[in-house]
Amino acid sequence: MKHKVIDIENRDEVLQKSDKLIHGLDAGIQAISMDFGYHIKNTFTEPKIFDLRNNISYRLSSSRFHFHLLFRQLNDIQLKHDNLEISNDIRNSSVWHLEIDKRQLSYLLDSIVFHLSSVFDYSAILINYILAKTDDTPNWNKIENHARGNSGPFSNEKIK
């Protein structure tokens, strides 16, 4: 069975797009917590919303940092393997180095997944906190009907 290798041709572009996405998410979380904390419910004396915001921001920044490390590590691995000498010594063989490198990449990927999963957890807690403070309950049927309609802001989105 032949596997198709997908290679990233422009790593800088991928990093810029991921930075832009993470920055946008972080800015959105900052805005929500500030608007809610200072303007909507005047809860700025309660630190919980700001603690949640800070946890989300930390996890987003950590995932961004590890994503950049992953790309650097991939580049270093490529350079190392391009320069490995053919050797009969197992400790200098490409197989030995490849096993070590796979583990290190796995560590970084695990960290990225952990931090992004934590972002979802903290976001759910933040949403629950806001809903509990405003005594609102989400009406998913209204959201769905609005999304399926032809005139709503979600009408052209993929959630139909």
Q: Whole-number mean pLDDT of the chain?
A: 80
Query: Across the chain, which distance is largest between two alpha carbons, in Å?
Result: 70
DSSP state of 35: I
pTM: 0.71
Instruction: Write the pLDDT tens digit of every residue in 113-126.
Output: 999 999 999 998 88
Residues 40-61: pLDDT tens digits? 666 666 788 889 999 999 999 9
Q: Which of 121, 14, 11 is nearest to 59 (CA)?
A: 121
- Residue 85, φ and ψ in degrees, nearest 5: -85, 150
Q: If we measure between CA atoms, which residue out of 33, 29, 35 comes closest to residue 59? A: 29
What angle separates helix 11-34 from helix 48-82, to the nearest 10 degrees?
170
